[in-house]
Structure 1
Amino acid sequence: MQVYDSNDYQIQIKEDGTPVTRADLIAHDYITKALKHEFGYPVISEEAPVPPYEERQTWSQFFLVDPVDGTRDFIAKNDEFTVNIALVSGGEPVLGVVLVPAKGELFFARKGKGAWMRTNNSEDLPLPLEKQEGWVLARSWHHDNSMIEAFAKNNNISQSIKMSSAIRLARLSQGKVNLCVVSNKSKEWDIAAGQVILKETGGSIVEMESGKEPAYNKPDMQNAFSLATASGVSLSQLKL
């Protein structure tokens, strides 16, 4: 938060055209060192080269980290950037933490143990906290596209809330919205932590083409277009 408040972001543009700031790099360095020291598992972070698939395909457990998810939101100072940390075991995320530093919110879950939200002024609150009547779609400030437009039109969705892509799975788990389309431009570290939290609330994420849950530790680590739904939403009610 010190960098966020200082406005000294030292913005650079990466090869993929996305921005990175001094905060991304500081957070990456701190988190990856702490995880390796504490647990000894390999760490894949958005802000470091991904190890070759030939090396990591043998990993049984590893951490996926996005030190600052929503860098555009960080730069825009809209308070909706997150820190995402997930433990992947046996090809699926089993522990997830999503921190929203500017709002003082922490979402966390462990497979089979439930999902929780903590704020600066609260005890740990079991998720979800709300339930929406009718469809409410989470839409992105920066990444809406024709696929999302078509999904909304095909399902007669008239209610939507714009927010950072980084925070959408947390808000879905919380119950602020009940539908979210995950872009095929996103990477595994963007959704792994949020997926654990969402599944522990009774929600789900499935790839729109295959109907299967996202796989992890893929050669390219790219996500397919996927649909994330809140607790109580049946996929049979929707046109994918």
Structure 2
Amino acid sequence: MLDQTLLQSVVDACREAGKAILEVYESDESFEVESKADDSPVTRADIAAHNILYPALKELMLDVPVLSEESEVPDYSVRSNWKRYWLIDPLDGTKEFINRNGEFTVNVALIEGNQAVLGVVYVPVLDVVYTGIAGQGAWKTVNQQTTAIQVRSMASLVEQKLPVALVASRRHGAGAVDVLIQRIEEEFGPAETKSMGSSLKLCLVAEGEADLYPRLALTSEWDTAAAQAIVEAAGGVVLDDKLKVLQYNTKADILNPYFYVIGDKDFNWPALLSAD
């Protein structure tokens, strides 16, 4: 059952993983960085967080598989039979971690029927937690104080004559995003753009600090699942490149298509996005 007790257990595990990450992050030693098969970086902080989260989640639900960025990915002939599983990125934003800018997170999602239904995104440097459960709501915890969060209404934004806020990666898909921004500015006037690392980009949409996050570059499923659960619990939606809800574990590889994180799903974003 998806409830606050289960959610809190996941948050506790994420906090423990965050402590292990910070021990490395705050040390005076330079990070030993290795490259994985896909050329993405990995540090001992990634592994330390994985070694905390993986057994903790297995203990929470003994019969539920755990798929981690730092573990072997079972063949799709095995994964296709999973009706429910944990999908985790023990340290999302390893490049941000290496650059010591603080914009890295611990991501844990529960997937049911190809949908992210529970998500926790923990920001170790700030000790901030974003959480969400499908159909129940989304929350942000700062200084041990938890408040509900929700996406921003485009109608209220237009009424208050506020700029549309877009969030984007600093490194990926910039050219295509610039074209989209130009199209949006033709419709709404000058837009506000925000750059952020890791899954924090999706969290900005979930808490109403941004209206759209276009990701026009490749990501993996563990990069997005936890934050997608939070966005959708907060009233938003994540659409793939065919403008369908982004799903998980539907094919042999674990790469996401290009996608759009939308705050106000009642606004006709597809009319602007489909021109791509």
Fold in common (TM above 0.5): yes
Q: Which runs of 4+ in 1 moved over 2 A?
A: 128-134, 141-147, 236-240
Equivalent residue, structure 2, for 1:205: 238
Given that residues 151 and 263 in structure 2 are in contact (C-alpha distance below 8 angstroms), is that contact kept between their aligned partners in structure 1? no
Confirm or deny that 1:34 pairs with 2:66. Answer: no
TM-superposed deviation, 1:83:
0.5
Question: 5+ residue gaps in structure 2?
Answer: 1-21
**What CA deviation, in whole Å up to 9, does each residue of 1:121-141 have, x standing for no partner?**
52x100038675331110212
> Pairwise mapping of residues 114-193 of structure 1 onto structure 2 (< 5 A)?
114-122=137-145, 124-128=146-150, 133-156=162-185, 158-193=191-226
**What CA deviation, in whole Å up to 9, does each residue of 1:191-211 have, x standing for no partner?**
111111111111111113x11
SS at match of 1:146: helix
**What CA deviation, in whole Å up to 9, does each residue of 1:127-180 have, x standing for no partner?**
038675331110212324322222112222632011113310111111111110
SS at match of 1:48: coil
Q: Structure 1 length as normaliser, TM-score?
A: 0.93
Task: Let me know the Cα RMSD of the aligned residues.
Answer: 1.8
The match for 1:67 among 81, 90, 115 is 90
Q: Structure 2 length as normaliser, TM-score?
A: 0.81
Question: Aligned partners of 1:130, 1:183: CA distance in 2, in Å?
Answer: 22
| Structure with the larger helix share | 2
**What CA deviation, in whole Å up to 9, does each residue of 1:85-140 have, x standing for no partner?**
00001111111000011111100011111000001252x10003867533111021
Q: Which amino acid aligns with 1:110?
A: I
Greater displacement, 178-187 / 44-53: 178-187
Greater displacement, 49-58 / 225-234: 225-234
User: Which of the pair has more CA radius of gyration?
Assistant: 2
**What CA deviation, in whole Å up to 9, does each residue of 1:206-237 have, x standing for no partner?**
113x1101121131111111111113661256
Q: Which amino acid aligns with 1:126?
A: A
Question: Aligned partners of 2:28, 2:68: CA distance in 1, in Å?
Answer: 24
> Does the C-alpha gap of structure 1 residues 163 and 112 become closer, same or farther in structure 2, counting only changes over 3 Å?
same
| Percent of aligned positions that are identical | 33
Question: 5+ residue gaps in structure 1?
Answer: none
Equivalent residue, structure 2, for 1:3: 24
> Pairwise mapping of residues 96-115 of structure 1 onto structure 2 (< 5 A)?
96-115=119-138
Equivalent residue, structure 2, for 1:85: 108
> Pairwise mapping of residues 192-231 of structure 1 onto structure 2 (< 5 A)?
192-208=225-241, 210-217=242-249, 218-231=251-264
Question: Aligned partners of 2:216, 2:260: CA distance in 1, in Å?
Answer: 9
